[in-house]
Amino acid sequence: WPALAPDVEAILRLKRERNAVILAHNYQAPEIFHTVADIVGDSLALAREAITVDADVIVLAGVHFMAETAKLLNPGKTVLIPDMRAGCSLADSITAADIRALRLKYPGVPVVTYVNTSAAVKAESDICCTSGNAADVVRSLGVPRVLMLPDEFLAQNVQVQVPEVEMLTWPGHCEVHERFTPDDIAAVRDSYPGITVIAHPECPPDVVQASDFSGSTAMMMNYVTSKRPSQVVLVTECSMADNIAVANPDIEFIKPCNMCPHMKRMSLPNIRHALETMTHEVTVEPALAERARRAVERMLAVKP
């Protein structure tokens, strides 16, 4: 990416000057993922790594809930997000008041919330989960019923893995993954016989059931780089295939994929601007942060 070299050089210099690290989600574009990011990963890895970061400043190249999670786990560090508008349809689908109403309706049923939620929602929850550990988190509770919020499809997909626990859920969806259909999978299998199909668990259950493997973005990457299929479709955000393809030219990545408009708000120019101006700082009110942190830390303590 020669045209982007001045931004990359400026970011590398600013990271040293500010004692900053860049945490980037797997959905970031290759020119971010492969150049300026210090730590890349799925939501679970970013939450885990956020605890161990030895820096004064964390720049989160991802979406707002990820920056909030990093802040919850690092109250003493400055956490920046290059564009405050980087939201998430799942995080927007449920409020803290919704959780309180559900607790009244289902007294005693533990609330498991996906990390794709606001700090206010996490603060009302018993425990968080990600797509990488949802089944383990549910099993760890040892109860017959859980409220698994707010991703209806993730809950339905985890229900297949953990049939012994009844999942009550909520009609929240990822706007990127809900658009895939079983017909997309059938069409790609017709055109590319023998292709490997990998779907993110935020996809509808009939899409996941039509695929060969399903897992978090990190699990998808591990599957591809260890099994090395000659042709594969990653039923998820488009940058995933682009990022793996950079180091694996022998693997052919077939469409469809969808773009996440929120993840794509991150760019080298706005990461540079964030470090130059130390904006936009993500803060969480300390009492709320304390309650939200409990749910995240409880999740991090669950053994796979």
22 touches 38 (CB < 8 A): yes
Binding mask 178-207 for ligand 13P (x = CB under 6 A): ------------------------x-----
Burial 236-246 (b: 16+ CB within 10 A, else e): bbbbbbbbbee
Binding mask 2-41 for ligand 13P (x = CB under 6 A): ------------------------x---------------
Instruction: Assess 243 for contact with ligand 13P (CB under 6 A).
Output: no
**Using CA atoms, how far apart are residues 247 and 245, in angstroms rounded to an integer?**
5
User: Of ligand SF4, ligand 13P, none, which one sits near residue 132, judging by CB under 5 to 8 A according to partner kind?
Assistant: ligand 13P
User: Of ligand 13P, ligand SF4, none, which one sits near residue 130, judging by CB under 5 to 8 A according to partner kind?
Assistant: ligand 13P
Instruction: Assess 211 for contact with ligand 13P (CB under 6 A).
Output: no
Instruction: Assess 43 for contact with ligand 13P (CB under 6 A).
Output: yes
Stretch that binds ligand 13P, among 5-13, 128-136, 277-285, 287-295 (CB under 6 A): 128-136
Binding residue for ligand SF4 (CB under 6 A) from 36, 176, 207, 219? 176
Q: Phi and psi dihedrals of 166, rounded to 5? A: -80, 130
**Using CA atoms, how far apart are residues 215 and 120, in angstroms rounded to an integer?**
27
> What stretches of 82-159 adopt beta strand conformation (E)?
111-114, 127-129, 145-149
Beta-carbon count within 10 A of 269 CB: 14
Q: Is the peptide bond before 256 cis (omega within 30 degrees of 0)?
A: yes
Binding residue for ligand 13P (CB under 6 A) from 35, 50, 72, 132? 132
| Neighbouring-strand partners of residue 79 | 58
**Using CA atoms, how far apart are residues 133 and 299, in angstroms rounded to an integer?**
8
Place of tokens 């020669």: 2
Instruction: Assess 63 for contact with ligand SF4 (CB under 6 A).
Output: yes
Stretch that binds ligand 13P, among 125-133, 153-161, 274-282, 288-296 (CB under 6 A): 125-133
Binding residue for ligand SF4 (CB under 6 A) from 237, 267, 274, 284? 237
Binding mask 243-282 for ligand SF4 (x = CB under 6 A): -----------------x-xx-------------------
79 touches 136 (CB < 8 A): no
Diameter over CA atoms, the chain: 58
- Letter for the amino acid at 7? D
Which residues make up the interface to ligand SF4 (CB under 6 A)? 63, 88-90, 116, 174-176, 202, 237, 260, 262-263
